[in-house]
Amino acid sequence: MALPIEIVAKGLQRERQKAGISLAELARRAGIAKSTLSQLESAQGNPSLETLWALCVALEIPFAKLMETNIAQTQVIRFGEGPSVSSEIAHYQAILLATCPTGARRDVYILTTQPGAPRCSQPHSIGSIEHIIIMKGRARVGLISDSVLLGEGDYICYPADQEHIFEALEQDTRAILISEQR
């Protein structure tokens, strides 16, 4: 799934206005045509990774800041789906799974799990969020009240300040866990 141009347009407008710079000045700093930037802010065109990166450097923001939107409490992205951008100069595609809010702390783990008793976790500190990417196997993951079946490459994030579960459904199921505390 290509990155929705509407998200890019809103992000560019929001961040340019926060920086207090004109369309012409941002285009100059990024080394792109003012007309190209105008089209992007009007939700037209298909920007390359290099163009978006140049704009982020000029705005002095992390790349993922352009794609920030208000998302549901629980988010699932199936392997091969999700907002993406491609390079013009290499066979390279980046799919954004999650942005890191300002002031958050993230810890990254690799889980190796076996079928049997599920891992039920009590709520963590208020505002905690967990991100899981299944690397191998299948698992039921998420809030106890609303868990989701995930396969290889699937991603989920959910509020970890509620009871949640990780249940391996295949031998040697592996996952990446990113625990975020705010």
Q: What is the pLDDT of residues 46-105, one digit of tens each?
A: 888 788 888 988 998 877 777 776 554 788 888 878 777 776 776 666 677 777 666 778
In angstroms, the Cα distances linking 126 to 123, 160, 161, 182 are 8, 8, 5, 8
Whether 130 maps to a domain, the answer reads yes
Shared-domain flag, residues 26 and 64:
yes
Shared-domain flag, residues 86 and 112:
no
Q: Are 159 and 83 in contact (CB under 8 A)?
A: no
28-44 pLDDT, tens digit per residue, is 999 999 999 999 999 89
Shared-domain flag, residues 175 and 143:
yes
Shared-domain flag, residues 15 and 61:
yes
Kindly give, in sequence order, each residue whose CB lies less than 8 Å from that of residue 34, ignoring residues fewer than 6 positions away.
23, 24, 27, 28
Whether 139 maps to a domain, the answer reads yes
pTM, two decimal places: 0.60
What is the count of structural domains for the chain? 2
> What pLDDT was estimated at residue 135?
96
> What pLDDT was estimated at residue 82?
77
Q: Which domain holds residue 48?
A: 5-73+80-95
Whether 100 maps to a domain, the answer reads no
Q: Are 152 and 84 in contact (CB under 8 A)?
A: no
Shared-domain flag, residues 109 and 91:
no
Q: Are 100 and 178 in contact (CB under 8 A)?
A: no
Shared-domain flag, residues 90 and 133:
no
Residue range 17-37: mean pLDDT, rounded: 93
The DSSP output letter for 6 is H
CATH number reported for the structural domain that contains residue 40 in this entry: 1.10.260.40
**Domain endpoint, select from 95, 126, 144:** 95
Alpha helices in the chain (DSSP H): 5-19, 23-30, 34-41, 49-59
Shared-domain flag, residues 127 and 164:
yes
